[in-house]
Structure 1
Amino acid sequence: MRTVVVGGGVIGLATAWRAAREGVSVTVIDPAPGSKASHASAGLLPAINDQLYDQPELLRLCLASRELYPSFVEELEEFAPAGFRRDGVLDAAFDEESLPILDRQLAFQKSIGVRTERLTAEECAKLQPAFAPVVGGLLSPDDGAIDPRVLDAALITAIEALGGSVVRRGATRIEDHTVVLDTGDKVPFDRLVLAAGCWTHQIEGLPAGAIPEIRPVKGQILRLRSDVPLLNVTARAISKGKSLYLAPRLDGELVVGATYEERGYDETVTAEGTGSLLRRAAEVIPEVGALRFAEITAGLRPASPDDLPVMGPTTVPDVYLASGHFRMGVQLAPVTAVAMAAYLTDTVPHAATAPFTPLRFS
């Protein structure tokens, strides 16, 4: 059974790797694997975000992926390091008006069984000495982050080690059970997974409406560097009701994000985006101005028509979709990969993924 996955971001690569582990013959097609949304992503793995309070089905999906992450990483690291750390996520409030946000989060996380500790200002300062004064915080000790760039590289290594292949070309059209490349060459398939993020619906050759439009949502993300990590754990800094995420890497990199911009396919890095992130970071980390500037990146998050993930069979026989993960592609990679591998091997997919098939748009 020949399976072709179009799209070499974290969702496409994770799907291909999991399918290869199940004995499926896999080919990934992408002109530059791991170079788009997941390349820009900070890789936070929090227990919840504000989108989940009134989305019970999405909450179940996120919790299922959270439960799968440790084994997902353990199996992947048979081939290469994955950049995973599970040493806690700190949510810190920097003003009184942000405390109700922590109160709501604490109650919600406890209601769904997520281990959560309320921290005083003094306890936050002890955990993150580089922070400006805070008024309180929450620690989720069983959560953390992953470096998506390391993760994508590990997935490519694992796919190739299992006999799969990665074709570094663009896919332009689907035609008679083949994928037509930008060279004119054709790659035949028995089953096809479309996982090209916000470019997925632009691939030609499928019936109108078979693939929902996946719109791009731009995000600019800043990377700074020091000789040793400035922060001890992954954090979300809440000030004036807005959250800034801060992902420290063990090598001294600090990822700061992110903007949310509805600007179509514009991937331009702007002075406004850079300045905004630097100003907000300086408000919560006084020493941030002394760090070395490493990079500012713009990525395009893939958002479906209802802003929810899309995974499973389409109305076209043998054509599957895995896209639309919006802000949570890295977070939902394990559960998506398990579900897609189940579809590709004619077994029962994870129950939490059932509400997210493309058929809901038909």
Structure 2
Amino acid sequence: METDVDVAVVGGGIIGLGIAWEAIRRGHTVTVIDPDPAAGATHAAAGMIAPASELHYREEHLLRLTLDSAARYPEFLASLTWTGIDPGFRRTGTIVLGFDGADRQALADLQAVQARNSLVVEQVSLREARRSEPMIGPAATAAFRAPEDHQVDPRKLAAALLAAVTSRGTLVRAAATGVERDGSHVTGVRLADGSVLRAGSTTIANGLAAAGLAGLPCRLPLRPVYGDILRLRVPEALQPLLTHTVRGLVRGHPVYMVPRTDGTVVLGATMREDGSNAVSAGGVYQLLRDAQQLIPAVSELELVEVLCRARPGTPDNAPLLGQVEGCDRLLIATGFFRHGVLLTPTAAAVCVDLLEGKPGPPGLERYTPNRFEEG
């Protein structure tokens, strides 16, 4: 088949750019299709590389992927140093706080799950926690530490990936409307102007918009999960406010604060499925209220940005990742929900391995994109 490019990637968020860069690194010609790269969920993401503290009940099956991806991050970032863009990688670790009895029990239950999966999570005294983070408030009654958690700045990482992809590949700033097929073979991508980009392999990685593409051989049951997220600037007199990521359960409400090297703090994040991409006044109030329980000095910070973005969720909160059964030359990589930044290196490696005819990792069948077609 005559093609314009080896690999077409629909979607220029953190996942799509990661896949494109991995394919370029391995010698493939690549075109990314996105009208506004890195402007969706990537733009709002906090960037925690935290398999331990991000573990949720009934999501233990994701640990194989999240741990693998966290281990891949240093080499993945090293491949981008030539761009001159610092992606904000920090080995900060995470301190997790609880406040009332129910919070303490929930954290203890989570620690048991973490221990069962050999994750490094330590219960520490509040005195020790405050020795690491003196700004922790007096209302905290329990503390845990996940020393192996890290972080990146997703905006800076996306900028580095975009620079790399546009330097050694091609970016088409246009909307994709569907895939072109010849029977069971996907032959390329149709663009909004009616033109077709012919590709040897096509990867769909455009988040929620993937479900609306024409020509897909299966439905993609994606749902938007909206989240409010704030950015605050720390006055010079209070810097550094934090040296770790600080998370908490405040009377059952999860909240986190992620310090950046530029003197800002990311505060997040609410989760709602009300169908609104507008910032919620109640969500902003809840975040500021609960963050002040973690770190009372939050009230002295400058509020510089308030965002709401929709993250792509699936019925089982697991990604749609891999080949579509019964359809050649088509890969799906979406539905990453809270874990898009964390899973970028592994999603990239999995997709490029599959397009090169290599087997996927053990357990990948759990995430097959058309798993919901059979009910």
1:15 paired with 2:26, answer no
Per-residue deviation, 1:121: 1.0
Q: Distance in 1 between matches of 2:118 and 2:169?
A: 39
The TM-score, its normalising length taken from structure 1, stands at: 0.93
Structure 1 gaps, min length 5 = none
Q: Residue type matched to 1:17 in 2?
A: W
Moved more, 233-242 or 349-358: 349-358
Gaps of at least 5 residues in structure 2 are 182-186
CA gap of 1:50–1:86, structure 2 versus 1, over 3 A, is closer
CA distance in 2, matches of 1:46, 1:138: 14
Matched, 1:206 2:216: yes
Question: Do 2:7 and 2:30's aligned partners in 1 also have CA atoms closer than 8 Å?
Answer: yes
Is contact 1:338–1:350 with CA below 8 Å preserved after alignment? no
The answer to which of 242-251 and 169-178 deviates more is 169-178
Alignment partner, residue 205 of structure 2? 195
Q: Is the 8 A contact 1:19 1:344 kept in 2?
A: no
8 Å CA contact 1:310–1:322 kept in 2: the answer is yes
Match among 142, 148, 151 for residue 154 of structure 2:
148
**d(CA) in 2 for partners of 1:56 and 1:293?**
36
**Which 10-residue stretch deviates more, 174-183 or 3-12?**
174-183
Q: In structure 2, what is the Cα distance between the partners aligned to 1:329 and 1:111?
A: 25
- 1:138 is aligned with what amino acid? F
1:77 aligned partner: 81
1:1-362 superposed matches below 5 A: 2-49=6-53, 52-79=56-83, 80-133=85-138, 134-161=140-167, 163-176=168-181, 177-207=187-217, 210-226=218-234, 227=236, 228-264=239-275, 266-314=276-324, 315-362=326-373
| 1:205-233 alpha-carbon deviations (Å, 9 max, x no partner) | 334xx131211111110111124332111
Q: Provide closer, same or farther for how the CA distance between residues 194 and 57 of structure 1 changes in structure 2, counting only shifts above 3 A.
A: same
Query: Taking structure 1 as reference, are residues 350 and 222 closer, same or farther at Cα in structure 2, changes over 3 Å only?
Result: same
Aligned 8 A contact 1:229 1:250 in 2: no
SS at match of 1:190: strand
Q: Is the contact made by 1:311 and 1:323 (CA closer than 8 Å) also made in structure 2?
A: yes
The one-character-per-residue Cα deviations of 1:74-128 (angstroms, maximum 9, x if unpaired) are: 2233433222111211111233432223323333333323223221111111211
Alpha-carbon offset, residue 346 of structure 1: 1.3
The more displaced of 295-304 and 68-77 is 68-77
Is the partner of 1:175 in helix, strand or coil? strand
**Using a 3 Å threshold, how does the CA distance of structure 1 residues 40 and 95 change in structure 2: closer, same or farther?**
same
- Aligned in 2, Cα 1:55/1:273: closer, same or farther, shift over 3 Å? closer
Structure 1 residues 56 and 141, CA gap change in structure 2 (3 angstroms): closer
Deviation at 1:70, TM superposition (A): 2.4
The amino acid across from 1:93 in the alignment is: G
SS at 2:78 equivalent: helix
Secondary structure (helix, strand or coil) at the match of 1:174 reads strand
Aligned to 2:184: none
User: How far 1:325 moved relative to its partner?
Assistant: 0.7
| Aligned-pair CA distance for 1:51 | 5.5
Preserved CA contact (<8 Å) 1:37 1:300: yes
Letter in 1 for 2:48: L
Distance 1:354 1:68 in 2: 21
- The 10-residue stretch of structure 1 (31-40 or 273-282) with the greater mean CA deviation from structure 2: 273-282
Query: 2:174, 2:191 within 8 Å by CA — same for their partners in 1?
Result: yes
The one-character-per-residue Cα deviations of 1:21-73 (angstroms, maximum 9, x if unpaired) are 11111111111111101111111222335754433422222222222222222
Contact 1:124 1:137 in 2 (8 A): yes
Contact 1:120 1:135 in 2 (8 A): no
Report the residue type matching 2:90 in the other structure.
R
Number of equivalenced pairs: 358
